Amino acid sequence: MRTKATAIGTALVALVALCAVFATSASAAPAWKFETKSLEGSEVILGGALESSLTIPGLTTKCENFLYKLTIKNEAGTGKGEVTELPLYNCTTDTAACSVSKIGAEKLPWPSHLTTVSTTPYIIIEGVRVSILYGGEECALNETLVPVTGSAGGSINNTTETATFNASTLSATGTSLKALSTKIEWNGVFPTEAFQWHREQAISVS
Amino acid sequence: MQKYRARVLSTALLAVALAALGLAGTAQAKLTGEYTKFAQCPYKTAEVKKCVYAVTESGEVVLGSKKVPIEKPVTLQGGAGAINEEEFGKFYAATNGITLSKAPQNVPGGLLGIVPDASSPALVKALIKFFLENSLTGVNSTLELATPASNIMISESHLAGEEGIALKLPVKVHLENPFLGKNCFVGSSTSPINWNLTTGTTSPPAPNTPITGAGGEGELLEAGHIIRLKNNKLVDNAWSAPSPAGCGGILSFLVTPIIKAQLGTTTAGHNAAILKGTVMSAAAVAVKKNDEEHP
């Protein structure tokens, strides 16, 4: 009789543990929503960075026009997507010596997915590759093509409908971007606004 | 009158001497801060676009069956010209003539490591005995530039991007010991060892397997005028080396074949170069400007 009770107890513990695992994975995979309803099909998010800079130790590069196009969808309840366009214009550096001759995103589309870390929703963009050709006769990187590669995680704010990328969000998601073989800093705030079927609808992630 | 003439002459001579000193002063580079590393860069040459200063602090050179660790720093310095379509810039020799510094590295095992006593002819045995008795057993291996510096090619994009060849370096290895004589070399100006060093991954023929280098940690210094790559790792294990030559002085006909046998196969796939250190590069215009600002 005692054996039966022990067996039931063990089974219950196992069930609770299993539920906990599922609960964790469920919260780790949020979905895209519009007006609180889960997105069906796909949607296009289009916008420009409110602010964005990329820092290699000793050199910060900023772009006035940091546009992006992101196609999103939900797959098995999990938000997915891909960055399909990322035109960058009017880029400068914080030094008088170095200018930006050319800059461009490569190997698009970059896959993305949503995740949750400590109740905060994040978007993870993988396979990032941006090549920067620096110019300036006095610049050490003059005529040197510097590829920026890696993955980046940004926190999503449902209230302001923005995605923020910085050192904390990259660290929280275990992602990193590298240039000149060095971990670099990327700071950017991107509005997340639908431009296809859900225009002017409140977008959220949960 | 004579006294007056002598005074005029001595004043004139003093003026000439002072002027000469003044000229010498302006010719002397007085670089400051991180720019001092580029003192031997031919930055006044119009074709030179970049100044390069690379120090290999550790690593190893594997030549057939012999492995020589790099324990003493080796410096590569000079200038680099405009890049070509393949993103390579031609190298310009250091102004002091020391483009690749000669740092003798200790060969593990010494003389007996490369000339075994047991299997050598009687004459060689007797000579080795003499050298052993006189503690002249240490053998040094010195890396030297095999051809003019203009044959070195450098690609900063590949260096930083960790793909493709970053540095083409034609070298020869000088084996030094009184027994080996002054002209014991592996590689020569007509048949150099051509290293195609990468910070990416190599594709060597068997039995070697791919090895991976590293661009290192990059940092811009002096307001973007200088870049420093710390913990840089340049590798190549696909190179071939010619047979040694000129070893043993007048006994070369006896000693060289022994060394060749001791090195074993040195065809591609049996050798490796792993160079770890710091690479610095600066815009030549910026170095020149720093020089002019500090006469």
Strand partners, B55: B75, B278
Q: Evaluate if residue B124 carries a pLDDT over 90.
A: no
pLDDT at B28: 52
Nearest chain A residue (CA) to B155: A144
pLDDT at B64: 94
Structure-model confidence comparison of residues A25 and B253, the more confident one: B253
Q: Whose CA is closest to A81, among A71, A66, A93?
A: A71
Using the beta-carbon criterion (under 8 Å), do A140 and B83 form an inter-chain contact?
no
Residue in the block written with tokens 């420093």? B228
Same domain, A105 and A117: yes
pLDDT at B227: 96
Same domain, A11 and A59: no
| Residue of B82, B87, B215 with shortest CB distance to A180 | B215
Same domain, A53 and A2: no
pLDDT digits (tens, 9 = 90+) for B92-102: 999 999 999 99
* The two structure tokens encoding residue B111: 């003389």
CB atoms inside a 10 Å sphere around CB B117: 12
CB atoms inside a 10 Å sphere around CB A59: 28
| Residue of A97, A98, A146 with shortest CB distance to B160 | A146
Structure-model confidence comparison of residues B132 and A174, the more confident one: A174
Range of the domain at A23: 1-28
Nearest chain A residue (CA) to B286: A138
pLDDT digits (tens, 9 = 90+) for A173-202: 999 999 988 889 999 898 888 888 888 888
B49 touches chain A (CB under 8 A): yes
Mean pLDDT score, A37-56? 88
Same domain, A160 and A182: yes
Q: Are strands A42-48 and A99-105 parallel, antiparallel or unpaired?
A: unpaired
| Predicted confidence band of residue B115 (pLDDT cuts 50, 70, 90) | low
Task: Collect all residues of chain A within an 8 Å Cβ-Cβ radius of residue B286.
Answer: 97, 138, 140
Kindly report which listed range (A46-60, B38-52, B69-83) carries the lowest average pLDDT score.
A46-60
Same domain, A51 and A22: no
HEC-encoded secondary structure of B234-283? EEECCCCCCCEECCCHHHHHHHHHHHHHHHCCCCCCCCEEEEEEEEEEEE
Q: Which of B227, B235, B280 to mutate to test the interface with A (most CBs of A within 10 A)?
A: B227
| Residue of A95, A137, A180 with shortest CB distance to B218 | A180
Using the beta-carbon criterion (under 8 Å), do B217 and A181 form an inter-chain contact?
yes
* The two structure tokens encoding residue B13: 């001579």
pLDDT at B185: 97
The span from the CA of B271 to the CA of B264, in Å, is 10
What is the pTM for the complete model shown?
0.81
Same domain, A132 and A149: yes
Q: Evaluate if residue B287 carries a pLDDT over 90.
A: yes
Q: Evaluate if residue A18 carries a pLDDT over 70.
A: no
Is the Cβ–Cβ distance between A115 and A81 less than 8 Å? Answer: no
Nearest chain A residue (CA) to B49: A137
Same domain, A165 and A189: yes
Structure-model confidence comparison of residues A71 and A26, the more confident one: A71
What are the residue ranges of helices labelled H in chain A? 2-27, 167-172
Task: Collect all residues of chain A within an 8 Å Cβ-Cβ radius of residue B157.
Answer: 144-146
Task: Collect all residues of chain B within an 8 Å Cβ-Cβ radius of residue A181.
Answer: 160, 162, 199, 214-218, 229
Strand partners, A110: A83
Same domain, A21 and A83: no
Q: Evaluate if residue B23 carries a pLDDT over 70.
A: no
* The two structure tokens encoding residue B73: 């720093």
pLDDT at B2: 52
A87 touches chain B (CB under 8 A): no
How many CB contacts within 8 angstroms connect chain A with chain B? 92
The nearest CA of chain B is from the CA of A131 a distance in Å of 10
What ipTM is given for this predicted complex?
Answer: 0.77
Task: Collect all residues of chain B within an 8 Å Cβ-Cβ radius of residue A139.
Answer: 224-225, 283
Same domain, A22 and A72: no
Structure-model confidence comparison of residues B153 and A67, the more confident one: B153
Using the beta-carbon criterion (under 8 Å), do B220 and A95 form an inter-chain contact?
yes
pLDDT digits (tens, 9 = 90+) for A129-163: 999 999 999 999 998 889 999 999 999 999 999 99
Using the beta-carbon criterion (under 8 Å), do A59 and B49 form an inter-chain contact?
no
pLDDT at B22: 42
Using the beta-carbon criterion (under 8 Å), do A180 and B83 form an inter-chain contact?
no
| Predicted confidence band of residue B9 (pLDDT cuts 50, 70, 90) | very low
| Predicted confidence band of residue B16 (pLDDT cuts 50, 70, 90) | very low
Same domain, A176 and A95: yes
Mean pLDDT score, B187-198? 98
Is the Cβ–Cβ distance between B188 and B260 less than 8 Å? Answer: no
Same domain, A51 and A99: yes
Report B:181-200 residues touching A (Cβ under 8 A).
199
The domain total for chain A is 2
Q: Which of B43, B198, B220 to mutate to test the interface with A (most CBs of A within 10 A)?
A: B220
Listed in sequence order, the residues at least 6 apart from B58 whose beta carbon sits closer than 8 Å to its beta carbon are B69, B70, B71, B276, B277
Task: Collect all residues of chain A within an 8 Å Cβ-Cβ radius of residue B212.
Answer: none
Using the beta-carbon criterion (under 8 Å), do A145 and B87 form an inter-chain contact?
yes
Same domain, A17 and A38: no
The span from the CA of A182 to the CA of B205, in Å, is 30
Is the Cβ–Cβ distance between A176 and A150 less than 8 Å? Answer: yes
